[in-house]
Every structure is written in structure tokens, then in C-alpha cells.
Amino acid sequence: MDQLEQLKKITTVVADTGDIDAIRTFQPVDATTNPSLLLKASQDAKYAPLLEKARQYAAQQGGSDSDQLANMSDYLAVLIGREILDIIPGRISTEVDARLSFDTRATIEKAKRLIDLYQQQGVDASRVLIKIASTWEGIEAARELEKTGIQCNLTLLFGFSQAQACADAGVFLISPFVGRILDWHKARQPEADFGGDNDPGVQSVSRIYRYYKTHGYNTIVMGASFRNIGEIQSLAGCDRLTIAPALLQELANLQTPLERRLSPEATGATDPKSSLAETDFRWSLNSDAMATEKLAEGIRNFTKDQITLEKLLAS
């Protein structure tokens, strides 16, 4: 059994891509998308019919140019999501516009809009996760959405305080980023050994996982943003891992045994259970330079790709 198949025995494998062909190849349970992945997919000729459907839909809805671009973008995300759901047995994660990351009410309205579009396509809300940046405003939006039955995937999560707040808000799933944490540390300590268990991204996800299991939180931990398969191997057994096609292929090419590293029974968290008020959350996040910088950078980059996608749709 190759390592990908071994991993699927102990972790729910999620495809981190909007490429339908790759999803067919690797047969994950779930799939995640974001503005960067949608932009890449939209530049592929095989998605041209979906772009045209999105254009026609936006034209029918009318409104200003900005309204039509927003409708095109939302509708395209849903069309690609529906295509993916025809292949996978589980859920698709569809992201809220990163420009809404500091607006709780607008995030809630956009999430409801995306769910409505999915339902118009015959997709039940139970098969969709709404991806939201792990800002205080985003977490509060998720808190309200979860109460209405709209389940959320809190993304761009780099700091422990973000994970604490998400669990306290009762969100369905978090996506702590591994590779981007590693990037930050390598840029500052290029000579350091960050292999295996020394990887700060692996350490961050392991800490969050143990905290959740020790204190009985139901929020799912889904490691994301991997730079190499060593990070994946070090997190084998995590609830879920969302993995890009190139790394899925690397795992599929390995026939050696895969050791389980995380287990719900192996808890042992040293962090006491605590709930963060807004001021505590903001101070804790501000005190973590890596988390603060990577969260801000992630929002900027997703916004940049969203704007590029809109320019592509406008043309």
C-alpha cells in the first residue's frame, strides 16, 4: 500500500485544488478552493463554459459593473464547486471574498449568498463549508453562521489564539497553515534545521490538535499549506489534511510504511482551556509577529488574486 493509501486509513484526505482532473485522479473525500485556485482554474480552457455561464448569470441579474463582477465571481465559484461535488463524496470549501475579512455582517451575508447559489444548483448546504479568514470579525461571523446551520472552515490560521477563539465559537473546522509558518521562520533563520518535528508549522498544528482533543472540542483540525511531504508525514493521523496534487502524487509514489503521529487518544496538551475576549484575542495575536504578519499577507494575497480573477471575468 502506498503512503497516500496508508494516510487515507488514518486521516481524511482533502484535495487542495480546483483542478477537476486532479481530483478524479486522487479521489479525496473533500476538496478546498480559494481565490488563487479559482484564478488558476479560470485560466484553463476547459473551464471556459463555466465562465460563460457565470457571465450570462451576472448579465441576467443586472446592476452596476461591480455588482455584476461580484455575481460572476460568486457564481463561478459555485459552478466549479458543484463540478467537484459530482466527483467527491464529501464537502467543498468555498471562500468568502477576503476583502470582507474585517466585516462580520458582510461576511455573514456573503456566506448566505453562496449557500443560496449552491442550493439553486441542487446542492444541499450540508455539502458546503464556507471559508472565512480567522480574524476576530471572521470568527464572530462563523459563530453566527454555525447557529443557523451553515458550517464554516476558518482559514489563514497561524496563531494559537486564533485556534482558541475558533474552538470557543464552535466552528466546524479550522485550516491551520503549516508551510507558510515554515516560510516565515526560514526567512529569518535560513541556516536552522526545520526538518521533521523541528518544523514550526508541524509544531503549531500538533499543539492545536492536542489542545482540542484534551479539552473536548469538536472542531475539526485540517492541516493545510504544505511545502513538502515530510510535513504531511509528521501530521499523519490529524483529523484532516488538505494537500496539493503534486504532494499527493509524491505520497502515492512511496511504498514505505507511514507512522501515525497524531491520535485522538494521545492528548496531553499543556495549554489550559481558556476563552478569549476580543481584547485578549487581539493582544495575543498582536504579540505573535509571525501570525500577525502571515494573516495580513494572506488576506492581501487572496484579495490580489480575487481582483485579478474579476479582471479576467470582466474581459
112 tagged catalytic:
no
Active-site option among 110, 131, 213, 294: 131
Distance CA 164, CA 58 (A): 39
H or E element: which one contains 240? strand 240-243
Rg (CA), the chain: 19
**Per-residue DSSP letters for 79-148?**
HHHHHHHTT-SS-EEEEPPGGGTT-HHHHHHHHHHHHHHHHHTT--GGGEEEEEE-SHHHHHHHHHHHHT
What letter represents residue 106's amino acid? Answer: A
Burial class (CB in 10 A: 0-12, 13-18, 19+), 254: middle
Q: How many CB atoms lie within 10 A of CB 31?
A: 28
Burial class (CB in 10 A: 0-12, 13-18, 19+), 186: middle
Contacts of residue 168, defined as CB under 8 A and 6 or more positions apart, other chains included, come to 275, 276
Which pairs with CB-CB distance under 8 Å and at least 24 residues apart come from 252-259? 252/2, 252/3, 252/4, 252/5, 252/26, 253/2, 254/2, 254/3, 254/229, 255/1, 255/2, 255/3, 256/3, 257/6, 258/3, 258/6, 258/7, 258/233, 259/233
Q: How many CB atoms lie within 10 A of CB 251?
A: 21
Catalogue the active-site residues. 131
